[in-house]
Amino acid sequence: VNTQRDKIYADRRRAVLADNLDALMVEYAEKTADEIVEANIDANGDPSEWNLDSLAAKMVQYCYLLDGLDGDALRGVVAEGGFEGLRSHMRQLAVDAYHTKA
- Please, are residues 71 and 47 in contact by the beta-carbon 8 Å criterion? no
Q: What is the mean pLDDT of residues 77-88?
A: 97
Long-range own/partner contacts, residues 68-74 (CB < 8 A, 24 or more apart): 69/93
Residue 3 or 60, more confident: 60
Return the amino acid letter for 71.
Answer: G
Q: Model's pTM, two decimal places?
A: 0.83
In sequence order, what are the residues at sequence separation of 6 or more whose Cβ sits closer than 8 angstroms to the Cβ of residue 65?
97, 100, 101
- Per-residue pLDDT of 19-77, as tens digits, reads 778 988 999 999 999 999 999 999 999 999 999 999 999 999 999 999 999 999 999 99
Residues in the chain: 102
